[in-house]
Amino acid sequence: MTAQIYPYLTFENAKEAMDYYVQNFDAEIVYHQPLSEEQAENLGLDIDSLSTTTFRGIFQVAGQKLICADATMTNPQPSSIVSIMINFGEDEAGAKQLFNKVASSDEQRVTIPFGNQTADNQLGQVVDKYGITWLICSGKLMQED
């Protein structure tokens, strides 16, 4: 049995977050579905600004899909127990290019500069403005069986 795993992120304003990732991570917005009028009314939300809400959004960073939505029930809480890793495989230049793009903005905090971590891989780590930790790497992550 196989399945796909997608990071599912919740934000106070997922549309704004997707725009942030476009600007800072060279992301691409693949899909944006606002809340319907009925959904907004059921949640007690203002129906005058539905276009800025997100029932479901999909964006890609380095070709990898992430799914997001507005946190309509509670305020989202950042967590340090889950991180997002993007591995460029043998494309060290691609990993370094994305890391440098992300690290160039004051909206992120570099926690590990991009560089050699072992003889077989390079890695850099940043925390974005939403408190999400991103590991951007290239090379082998672990020994193959």
Q: Is 61 left (phi over 0), alpha (psi -120 to 50) or beta?
A: beta
Confirm whether 77 is domain-assigned. no
pLDDT confidence of residue 142: 60
pLDDT band at residue 118 under the 50/70/90 scheme: confident
Confirm whether 31 is domain-assigned. yes
pLDDT confidence of residue 53: 92
Query: At what angle are helices 14-25 and 92-103 packed, to 10 degrees?
Result: 120
pLDDT tens digit sequence for 78-116: 777 889 999 999 999 999 999 999 999 999 999 999 999
Mean pLDDT of 24-38: 96
Closest to 129 measured CA to CA, from 3, 17, 47: 17
Question: Which H helix or E strand runs over 139?
Answer: strand 133-139
Confirm whether 98 is domain-assigned. yes
The CA-to-CA distance between both ends of the chain, in Å, stands at 20
pLDDT confidence of residue 104: 96
pLDDT confidence of residue 114: 97
Give the global pTM. 0.87
Query: How many Cβ atoms are within 10 Å of 46's Cβ, its own excluded?
Result: 9
Q: What domain count does the chain have?
A: 2
Structure-block tokens of residue 14: 């997922």
Range of the domain at 29: 8-70
Confirm whether 3 is domain-assigned. no
Q: Are residues 65 and 88 in the same domain?
A: no
Q: Residue 82 burial by CB count (10 A; 0-12/13-18/19+): exposed, middle or buried?
A: exposed
CATH number, residue 63: 3.10.180.10
pLDDT tens digit sequence for 33-82: 999 999 988 888 888 889 899 999 999 999 999 999 999 877 777 777 88
